[in-house]
Amino acid sequence: MEQLLLLIFLPLAGAIITALAGKSAKIVSTVFSVASLMLALVIACNFIPDASTQFEVNLPWIADLGINFHAGIDGISLLVVLLTNLLVPIIILSSYNHQYKNPAAFYALILFMQTGLLLVFTALDAFLFYIGWEAALIPIYFICAIWGGKDRIRINMKFFVYTIAGSLFMLMGIIYLYLQNPAHNFNIQAFYALNLDSAQQGWIFWAFFIAFAIKMPVFPFHTWQPDTYTAAPAQGTMLLSGIMLKMGIYGVIRWLLPIVPAGVHDWGQLTIILSIIGIVYASLIAFTQKDAKRLVAYSSIAHVGLISAGIFAFNQQGMQGAMVQMLSHGINVVGLFFVLDIIFSRVKTNKIEELGGIAKVAPQLAITFLIIVLGTVALPGTNGFIGEFLLLMGVYNYGIWAAAIAGLTIIFGAVYMLRMYQNVMLGQTNSLTITFTDIKGTEKLVLYTICALIIVLGVYPKPVLHLTEASVQHLLEQVNQKLNTVN
């Protein structure tokens, strides 16, 4: 109990202290983020990989409305908790060569966002989940709006309107479920136990799915993403792509499937179709991108589309693949955006046609970038392979044609990512890249860490699979049992 409370609120304490730290904010935020990672690893080492909820906290909060501070960790939530606490120190370290205006506010907002994310990933009370959901949005909005690039205000307003609209749909669904609950509380197990008819489940499905689909994002709710990823500061883009989109994936697994299985049964085919359309659509647009950052943004949409299809295929392989790929995608996409940030910091452009020959003058950057690209395109032996293999197996078990089309994400991804790598890193140097300097200091630390994770998780993914297997199996059994009752 104490460990989980400390895990959630340590970043919040760090945010407050960082905000007051002035010029030392960068170091203070690093210390707190590393301490959070160490605590998460301690919890993981003490976690028993079964289907139970562990480290549970259940304290009265707003008793008159049946709201408790109820949180806990199982195999599904532990994976994203580890991902969050792993990536935040990496993202902070990746900023060390930047001089941000008002750094105390910048780093405090990152840690504040971490608290919101951890609330989302551990909440067992719907009201607490919603508070975390909104708390994570506020800091990233300010990070993008204050430290973003050109036209950031208009772009962030679109992002804010999209996400707030989705949140309001979800809030309506949560309130409706609360009113249907005889106990009049927001407990997740009470929501699971509700006996709702197919019509009720149908509209609640869409209330939740729209909120989660915007966050992921899934076609056609994705239009805010490419501009926001491009205009956001590098660390903001890493937070959005590496961790924040996992809120939507996690929400589908934790809240949508178990509460409205009949709604998933009725509308799951449509969501798979939308996910597959998103894979092909985003991949084709990625081919046409001249800006490397936008190319990676569209690549992310394609990969998330495959994760979404795997979840709604609703089988063990698809669900396990989604869990593994959440972890792998978070690591890989942060690596990609960091490399592009390094390139931009040197030559002030991410235009692919203006680059070239960087491998000749920066061989260490070229090697680490190649490893990250190979992980992204799911080369066997890298972390991207096992997740995409399981996802495609899950979609294949759902339908062979769905798998055939969804598999295009691997083929297309390999083409546009390797072509981008070739144009940026290989060939002859030009007037911009001839003076390019290789990675050093914290740049090496971050990229070497990411590359090590890509290789280790690719060669030996068993611990991740073992961590989530029992919880995923229990979730599927729980949903199938409820679905049979409704039918």
pLDDT higher than threshold 60 for residue 487? no
Q: Which of 71, 83, 86 is closest to 446 using CA atoms? A: 86
Q: What percent of the chain has pLDDT over 90?
A: 44
What average pLDDT is seen over the chain?
89
Q: So what's the pLDDT on residue 451? A: 95
Q: Which of 74, 10, 1 is closest to 36 using CA atoms? A: 10
Q: How confident is the model over 320-349, as a mean pLDDT?
A: 91
| Helices marked H in 407-441 | 408-425
Q: So what's the pLDDT on residue 30? A: 94
Positive or negative: CA dihedral 74, 307, 41, 383: positive
What is the rounded (10 degree) CA torsion for 300, 302, 304, 309? 180
DSSP letter for each residue of 202-262: HHHHHHHHHHHHHHTT-TTS-TTHHHHHHHS-HHHHHIIIIIIHHHHHHHIIIIIHHH-HH
pLDDT higher than threshold 80 for residue 59? yes
| SS3 state at 130 | helix
Banded model confidence at residue 111, pLDDT cuts 50, 70, 90: very high
pLDDT higher than threshold 80 for residue 169? yes
Q: So what's the pLDDT on residue 51? A: 83
Contact 368, 448 (CB under 8 A): yes
pTM score of the predicted model: 0.92
Banded model confidence at residue 199, pLDDT cuts 50, 70, 90: confident
Tokens representing 279 are 């894979």
Enumerate residues 6+ apart whose C-beta is below 8 A from 182: none
Enumerate residues 6+ apart whose C-beta is below 8 A from 181: 187, 190, 191, 194
Q: So what's the pLDDT on residue 482? A: 78
d(CA 377, CA 409): 9
Banded model confidence at residue 27, pLDDT cuts 50, 70, 90: very high
Q: Could you tell me how far CA 234 lies from the centroid of its own chain?
A: 16
For helices 363-376 and 408-425, angle between their N-to-C axes, nearest 10 degrees:
170
Q: Could you tell me how far CA 169 lies from the centroid of its own chain?
A: 21
- 33-37, 69-73, 230-234: the lowest-pLDDT one: 230-234
Contact 91, 334 (CB under 8 A): yes
Banded model confidence at residue 382, pLDDT cuts 50, 70, 90: very high
pLDDT in tens, 341-351: 999 988 888 88
d(CA 209, CA 325): 20
What is the rounded (10 degree) CA torsion for 187, 192, 193, 199? 120
| SS3 state at 50 | coil
pLDDT in tens, 227-274: 888 888 888 899 988 888 899 999 999 999 999 888 888 888 899 999
| SS3 state at 191 | helix
